[in-house]
């Protein structure tokens, strides 16, 4: 019987009986304040989606969403009325402990996706079902197998995935949802369903994909990775070669973590050109306020420096949505964008205790304590509320933000006279011992994204608190144009050596001299073996080595100097001689470097080095037995105060 209903519904879909509200039919959305640059060439079918996974848990916790008239309204209708045409819902297999208590994050199963999807369909919103194939969050850091599937072989897991996907889709469609896309896994860069070998992953992807194809060939099958990368094209191609039948390669794109719009575009273009697959952004979001609404820390916010990408304002959020949509639309095969968690706002409550009780009971926080049994190291420790209430499209009280209108205004643009929107943060790097000087002006950012300089008044007490005696970081606030100004002050160690950490590609100022024969030392690019950055001075040889590496600096002011270097390594033998040295005014000064093992960084220091000539040579010397190894990093040369 259920099958009959599905067939009838599928027929109705084919005949165009159920379809989204088009831009023409939608009541005209207008804004007196929002500046939206038109996205040219964005088709009517371009997906402007929102992830609404937290909706039911939020409602159960007492959250009320409102429309622009201030009236309580179904959040899904408010989204649809403002240009959103698709929703996305995450689905977990069994996000409950043995007593039936939810893990949180909505504790979503196929049944909840069915409920949200059916409601969304009433407003013409299509549904993207986001199968994690896990009992809780799946992302690049974890892809845990569902409890009930633990210990199964890859083939057995594939069977389970196929059956589970088919049953879930049937349930979701029977409820009345308009399923347009299905994700086979979530941010599966490093694995899926507990498997991390690519060949095994391909078997699981194909199991899910096959279930979707068999269920309805019209549904688009989506593979989803995090963080745009040129490597996505390799993966997308490998999937094809491995026989994975899919339609869309999607990426997450969080501008505060994932590089520039150009990086995003290059990644999407590479996938599209090499595979012909459609591409989209499955998750993106931006910060509209530096406030935290529920006392549960947010994943991105104040003090981060991210405000230089877009201001932490409603207009900044709108610009981010517009720019990501425009970037995807500029790619031939770009089909759309989903905003992540449009409505995950604070649950009502006098204080943290009251809110926390709701997160635990209704799963309206990112994790409940009950998730600890399944995910002890993350959810089990840090369970709490919404980590993105400062990035939702509704304010803390449930009122829609003006930025929500962006979706409806993208195709036409909305050109109101630009006004000042925020100040861009500025940053200053000072050397140890330098006097504190901050800029007289700061950039004001206008609603159209343009900038101009304005005079700023800094907080005197905060300037006084900046100490340059030792390295450190400070934030100084100020006022300009009626906005709060921010200056990040970084007091850094000066370095009279050039490229002391080897990160710059030109390392010609360093001279490596081999005293023994054969390979002695080189510059190695490997962050695990570097003290800072990713490049270090490295040695290893099966035979005994003897070498030095040094740099000579000239025109130094008269005075006493301090030199230091970091080192790690081992197996150098009892007769090894490894030391830091300085040659100044014809004298050589040395300090031994003892290597104590991998990643156990030691420091060699030379102090009170006089230098009258203004010329000084700094280096390391290594003589050790075969099999000895190590790296040196972060040479520092500074005058003593
Ligand atoms: Ca929060």
5-61: per-residue pLDDT in tens? 443 444 444 443 344 455 445 679 999 999 999 999 898 999 999 999 999 999 999
Dihedral sign from CA coordinates of 145, 147, 148, 150:
positive
Amino acid 3: pLDDT: 39
Ligand 1 midpoint to CA 364 (Å) = 12
- By CB atoms closer than 10 A (0-12, 13-18, 19+), residue 318 is buried
Amino acid 429: pLDDT: 85
Residue 263 CB partners (closer than 8 Å, separation 6+): 228, 229
Matching residue, tokens 């892809």: 143
- The four Cα atoms 365, 366, 372, 377 give a dihedral, to 10 degrees, of -140
Ligand 1 midpoint to CA 368 (Å) = 14
Ligand 1 midpoint to CA 493 (Å) = 35
Ligand 1 midpoint to CA 143 (Å) = 24
Ligand 1 midpoint to CA 557 (Å) = 52
- 27 among known catalytic residues: no
CA 242 from chain centre, in angstroms, equals 28
Annotated active-site residue in 115, 187, 320, 360: 187
Ligand 1 midpoint to CA 377 (Å) = 20
- Show the low-confidence residues of the chain (pLDDT under 70): 1-26, 641
Whose CA is closest to 327, among 46, 88, 83? 46
Ligand 1 midpoint to CA 10 (Å) = 41
Residue 617 · residue 509 · CB < 8 Å? no
Ligand 1 midpoint to CA 395 (Å) = 12
d(CA 1, CA 103): 34
* Residues counted in the chain: 641
- 283 among known catalytic residues: yes
Annotated active-site residue in 115, 227, 266, 283: 283
Q: b/e per residue, 481-500, with b = 16+ CB within 10 A? A: eebebbbbbebeeeebbebb
Residue 375: how many other CB atoms lie within 10 Å = 20
User: Is the pTM above the cut of 0.95?
Assistant: no
Ligand 1 midpoint to CA 622 (Å) = 52
Ligand 1 midpoint to CA 199 (Å) = 39
């Amino acid at each position: 019987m259920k099958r009959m209903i599905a067939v009838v519904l599928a027929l109705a879909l084919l005949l165009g009986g159920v379809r989204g509200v088009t831009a023409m039919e939608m009541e005209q959305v207008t804004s007196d304040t929002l500046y939206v640059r038109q996205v040219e060439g964005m088709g009517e079918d371009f997906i402007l989606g929102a992830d609404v996974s937290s909706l039911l848990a939020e409602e159960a916790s007492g959250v009320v969403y409102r429309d622009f008239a201030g009236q309580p309204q179904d959040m899904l209708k408010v989204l649809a009325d403002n240009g959103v045409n698709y929703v996305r819902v995450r689905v977990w297999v069994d996000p409950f402990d043995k007593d039936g208590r939810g893990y949180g994050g909505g504790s979503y199963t196929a049944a909840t996706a069915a409920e949200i999807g059916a409601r969304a369909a009433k407003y013409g919103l299509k549904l993207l079902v986001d199968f994690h194939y896990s009992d809780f969050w799946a992302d690049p850091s974890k892809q845990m197998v569902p409890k009930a599937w633990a210990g199964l072989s890859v083939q057995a897991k594939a069977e389970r995935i196929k059956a589970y996907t088919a049953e879930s889709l049937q349930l979701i469609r029977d409820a009345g949802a308009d399923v347009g896309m299905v994700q086979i896994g979530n941010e599966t860069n490093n694995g899926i369903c507990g498997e991390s070998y690519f060949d095994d992953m391909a078997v699981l992807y194909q199991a899910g994909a096959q279930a979707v194809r068999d269920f309805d060939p019209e549904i688009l099958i989506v593979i989803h990775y995090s963080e745009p990368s040129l490597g996505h094209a390799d993966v997308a191609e490998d999937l094809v070669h491995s026989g994975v039948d899919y339609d869309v390669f999607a990426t997450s794109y969080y501008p505060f973590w994932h590089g520039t719009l150009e990086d995003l575009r290059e990644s999407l273009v590479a996938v599209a050109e090499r595979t012909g697959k459609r591409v989209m952004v499955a998750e993106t979001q931006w910060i509209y306020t530096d406030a935290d609404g529920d006392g549960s820390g947010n994943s991105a916010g104040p003090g981060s420096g991210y405000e230089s990408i877009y201001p932490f304002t409603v207009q900044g959020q709108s610009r981010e949505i517009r720019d990501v949509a425009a970037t995807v639309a500029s790619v031939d095969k770009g089909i759309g964008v989903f905003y992540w968690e449009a409505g995950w706002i604070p649950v009502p409550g006098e204080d943290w205790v009251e809110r926390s009780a709701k997160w635990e009971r209704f799963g309206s926080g990112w994790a409940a304590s009950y998730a600890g049994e399944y995910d002890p190291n993350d959810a089990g420790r840090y369970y709490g509320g919404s980590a993105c209430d400062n990035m939702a499209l509704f304010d803390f009280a449930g009122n829609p933000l003006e930025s929500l209108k962006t979706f409806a205004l993208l195709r036409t643009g909305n050109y109101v006279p630009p006004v000042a929107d925020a100040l861009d943060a500025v940053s200053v790097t000072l050397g140890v011992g330098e006097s504190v000087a901050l800029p007289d002006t700061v950039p004001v950012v206008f609603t159209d994204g343009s900038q101009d300089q304005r005079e700023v008044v800094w907080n005197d007490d905060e300037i006084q608190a900046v100490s340059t005696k030792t390295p450190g970081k400070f934030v100084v606030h100020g006022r300009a144009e009626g906005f709060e100004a921010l200056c990040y002050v970084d007091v850094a160690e000066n370095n009279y050596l050039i490229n002391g950490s080897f990160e710059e590609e030109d390392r010609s100022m360093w001279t490596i001299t081999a005293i023994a024969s054969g390979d002695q030392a080189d510059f190695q690019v490997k962050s695990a073996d570097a003290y800072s950055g990713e490049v270090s001075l490295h040695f290893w040889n099966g035979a005994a080595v003897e070498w030095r590496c040094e740099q000579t600096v000239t025109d130094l002011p008269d005075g006493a100097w301090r030199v230091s270097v970091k080192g790690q390594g081992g197996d150098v033998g009892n007769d090894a001689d490894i030391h830091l040295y300085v040659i100044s005014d014809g004298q050589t000064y040395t300090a031994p470097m003892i290597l104590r093992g991998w990643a156990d960084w030691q420091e060699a220091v030379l102090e009170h080095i006089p230098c009258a000539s203004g010329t000084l040579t700094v280096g390391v010397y290594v003589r050790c037995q075969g099999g000895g190894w190590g790296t040196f990093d972060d040479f520092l040369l500074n005058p003593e105060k």
